[in-house]
């Protein structure tokens, strides 16, 4: 199984740069965007296997973006990233179709496991 193709959506640019580089070092095909529009364009034009989506994006919350992504391609697995520790939000996120969530700050190992699981899940669905 080839490495998953990952789209990172986070307005925290320095976070995105570092995570992208680390994932690349692990040979993931990773792209990062910090704007909602760029994220949706990427999903449409170059669909990833897994989207790492920050819950709090300026102007639109993560759940809405999640729904939009699922509208474009329901097979894309979305892992929510959140700085919140509120379990109610986690419930809502999972109900809205996210496959996983990751609390910031996260251990890279956890991130990789969750990406891989999502990729497996996507493959199995395919």
Q: Which two tokens stand for residue 27?
A: 């040979």
* Phi and psi, residue 116, nearest 5°: -65, -45
Q: How far is the CB of 8 from another protein (least distance, A)?
A: 11
Complex with another protein: residue 15 or 123, whichever CB lies closer = 15
Number of H-type helices and E-type strands within the chain: 5, 7
Q: If you ran DSSP here, which 8-state letter would residue 122 be given?
A: H
Q: Which is nearer to another protein, 74 or 105 (CB)?
A: 105
Q: Provide, rounded to whole angstroms, the least separation between the CB of residue 25 and another protein.
A: 5
Q: Which is nearer to another protein, 51 or 81 (CB)?
A: 81
* Comparison of 88 and 126: residue with beta carbon closer to another protein: 88
Contact 123, 92 (CB under 8 A): no
What distance in Å separates the CA atoms of residue 115 and residue 49, rounded to the nearest whole number?
A: 9
Give the nearest distance from C-beta 31 to another protein in angstroms: 16
* CA-only gyration radius of the chain, Å: 13
Residue ranges in contact with another protein by CB under 8 A: 12, 14-15, 18-19, 21-22, 25, 56-61, 81-86, 103-106, 108
Least Å distance, CB 90 to another protein, is 13
């Amino acid at each position: 199984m080839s490495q998953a193709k990952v789209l990172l959506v986070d307005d925290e640019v320095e976070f995105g740069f570092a995570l992208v580089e680390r994932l690349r070092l692990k040979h993931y095909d990773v792209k990062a965007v910090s704007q909602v529009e760029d994220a949706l364009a990427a999903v449409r034009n170059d669909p990833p296997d897994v989207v790492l989506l920050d819950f709090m994006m300026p102007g639109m919350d993560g759940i809405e973006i999640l729904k939009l992504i699922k509208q474009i391609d329901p097979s894309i697995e979305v892992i929510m990233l959140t700085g919140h520790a509120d379990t109610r939000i986690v419930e809502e996120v999972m109900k809205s179709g996210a496959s996983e969530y990751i609390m910031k700050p996260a251990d890279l190992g956890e991130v990789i496991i969750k990406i891989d699981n999502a990729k497996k899940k996507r493959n199995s669905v395919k």
